[in-house]
Structure 1
């Protein structure tokens, strides 16, 4: 089996991969200078891609899939595959019978912790109070609505999308004595720490009960911008919304209107809406309305998974995908090109 790394693996990483795979594996790693070691170019791998059986890594250079006629599997170092849909690889994989496996769950704990950080930071008005403290300003009058923190204890949190990450968010929410409502495609599959599970057709009734709502669904054709004006209006004005998944789940204009009118208390996100060439005009990789600058918004820029142990786990789980494939075993983390997860 010929395996092509899609990143400039270190010597230690290369040795680890070689030791994990069958002894007769031909492992190719890009060499030479690079700007980011977690990517490669067409020229780096083109001559090896033409007869490669497997790709493994974070990026897929333009033009490489088209010349990789012997490719049998892609081990993708991301939890989602919406980027593969965008570049047309999901349809190509379905057409050619190429298997795709991801590393879903590898960053679940880090992302769940980030979600709870957002919940706490919004509830406790962390940014406002930090700025006041840095200026030695004492809020007055005491217990005024605009300064008072919200509580998590005995409040209700709705987790929309109860997969790997959503399940861990529910567990952590229980640590704060919260009532947890879950919403997922298959509501018959119960999850520990979720008090009541609901289907997507019950979304609005769940939103009306929640003090906090966390979006943890994958980005698919069905979930693209599914959270808009109607969903926000179903929420309590005192509620907080956290998007720990993909920026494209939420419609930007109704979110901005709600945050600036008092219809929604606050918003936090790790990923932001983007507007791609050929799909939208004008093109922008950032929100058009500069939502992150609003005083009731907390943002990180795709940093939830940038945590201790994550890189090592990505590589370990990504290699496990190829080990299963080489052994002819079912892929534990196989992705359906039709479903997009």
Structure 2
């Protein structure tokens, strides 16, 4: 079996993968200089991709799937699969294994950090401290903090990340509402469960809303003006899933009109060429200048141990495939996760 790493894997990473696979497995990776170690270009791997049985990596260069004549497994070292050419993978009969759960703890902690930072006006108060300004008058609305204890958090999507957010929220003595496709399945640490068709009723109960849904055709742009109108004006919205879950214009209007108290996100909008004009990555409105918005740029998973866990889970899928077993983390390509 031949395994191609779709990044500039170092000797230790290659040895880790090879040592867990059957003797004689050929594990290869692009060599030479690179601009970014965790990606590669078509020209870096074209010669090796033609006869590879399995790919493992963080990115798939455009065009590489078309020439991978023997490919049977793609170990995608992410959770979301919306960046993959699902139609082509289905056509070629490639099994896709993702890495769900690898970054769940880190992203859930990031969501909780956002909740605290919004509630406590952390960035605003730090800026005033840097300026040497005392906040006055005391108890003024513009600098008074919100609480988490005793408040209600609604978690939209109860996968690996959503369930961990629920557990941590219960540790803060919050009331937890969950919204999922199949509400008949109970979830630990969730006090109330709603179906997706009951989303608006759930939103009206929440002081904090955390988006933790996968990006699919069903969830693309699903959170717009009706959903924002269903929320309390005093509520906060947090997105640690995908930027495309929310509609940018109504969200900006809600934040600038006082309709929504605050917003935090680690993920932002991506407008692809041929589907949007102008194309590009990032918001079209200037969210970074709004006092009630805080953000990071896809940094939630950049935490201790996540990279090692990604490699471990990806290699587990290779081991199962090599042994002729069903791949535990295989993705249902018809639903996208």
Question: Is the shorter-chain TM-score for this pair beyond 0.5, marking a shared fold?
Answer: yes
Residue 95 (structure 1) aligned with residue 91 (structure 2): yes
Question: Which stretches of structure 1, 4 residues or more, deviate above 6 A after TM superposition?
Answer: none
1:301 to 277, 297, 303: 297
Q: Which residue of 2 aligns with 1:187?
A: 183
Superposed CA offset, 1:109-144 (max 9, x none): 000000000000000011111111122222222112
TM-score, structure 1 length as denominator? 0.97
Q: Which residue is 1:138 aligned to? A: 134
The answer for the alignment partner of 1:53 in structure 2 is 53
In structure 1, distance between residues paired with 2:227 and 2:149: 24
| CA shift for structure 1 position 293 | 1.9
Inter-partner Cα distance in structure 2 for 1:63 and 1:275: 21
Partners in 2 of 1:293 and 1:97 — Cα distance? 46
Cross-structure match for 1:236: 232
1:200 aligns with 2:196: yes
TM-score by structure 2 length? 0.99
Segments of structure 1 that go 5 or more residues without pairing to the other structure are: none
Question: 1:155 corresponds to which residue?
Answer: 151
The count of corresponding residues between Structure 1 and Structure 2 is 337
Structure 2: any 5+ residue segments left out of the alignment? none
Residues 307-322 of structure 1: pairs in structure 2 closer than 5 A: 307-322=303-318
**Residues 1:24 and 2:24 are matched in the alignment:** yes
SS for the counterpart of 1:146 is helix
Distance 2:140 2:29 in 1: 60
Question: 1:47-80: CA deviations, max 9, x gaps?
Answer: 1211111000011111110111210000001110
Q: Tell me by how many angstroms 1:205 deviates.
A: 0.3
RMSD: 0.8
Per the alignment, residue 64 of structure 2 pairs with 64
Aligned to 2:81: 81
- Aligned partner of 1:106 in structure 2 is 102
Give the C-alpha shift of residue 292 in structure 1.
Answer: 2.3
Looking at structure 2, the residues matched to 323 and 167 of structure 1 have their Cα atoms a distance apart, in angstroms, of 28
Partner of 1:15: 15
Distance 1:28 1:10 in 2: 10
Q: Match of 2:260?
A: 264
The aligned counterpart of 1:123 is: 119
Q: Following the alignment from structure 1 to structure 2, what is the Cα–Cα distance between the partners of residues 2 and 293?
A: 49
Q: In structure 1, what is the Cα distance between the partners aligned to 2:62 and 2:147?
A: 48
Whether contact under 8 Å (2:14, 2:28) holds in the other structure is: no
